[in-house]
Amino acid sequence: MTPVTAILFDLDGTLVDSARGIHAALNEVLTTLTGHGCSIDDVRRWVGNGPEKLVERGLYSHGYEDDASRAHALFREAYQRTLMQADIYPGVIKGLATLQHQGLRLACITNKSSHFTGTFLAELGLASFFERVLCGDEVERPKPDPQSLVQVCAEFGIEPAAAIMVGDSENDLKPAHAIGMRGIAVGYGYHGNVPLEAFHPLAIVDHFEAVIELCLAAANASP
């Protein structure tokens, strides 16, 4: 096994439970446009492919067939107000600090819009852990396409086999598996009831401390 030198993290549902803020914004938009809101469980199923897809899934669920451009603009405005209604998962700060202290290179690869991500990471105190942050609107083909994972590896000067992708859904694990990168699945995130075993992660874990243990073991493995 190639020793690991970099860990790539998804953001929403992996490092941070951001569902409250996303739900507040989307519920406002759907109520305004359709007269019907959505539940936070709906949001947990719909999130993962960026804000445009999220909004469109919400509109589709209510049979809304008009141009979605107004809905996208309304969501962008609403989410700017609700963005920080989010909670860092237990163990994340300590875990990222441990990996960083061990000399591992850390990146955040998210489908969250770059319009929100910088502020989000900074306000939560997570920005300083990441050497690279790559958002879904900064690549031609965001996750689940592997383009963003390949790009970060190229920037780090490593092969995909020398990195681990940590995520909560098919969008994270599928592209990693496709390029020969190891993956770790967190079972507590937003995976829409898709069985994560299908994407052959090293493990499916229920707490972030286990992620750190697996990453350190892979980093210290003999070639």
* Residue positions annotated with a catalytic role: 10
Task: Find out whether 3 and 105 touch, Cβ atoms under 8 Å.
Answer: no
Which residue shows structure tokens 């300083």?
128
| Residues linked to residue 109 through DSSP beta bridges, in sequence order | 134
3-state class (DSSP) for residue 23: helix
Phi, psi of 14 (to 5 degrees): -115, -55
Please provide the DSSP assignment of 113-164 as one string.
-HHHHHHHHHHHT-GGG-SEEEEGGGSSS-TTSTHHHHHHHHHHT--GGGEE
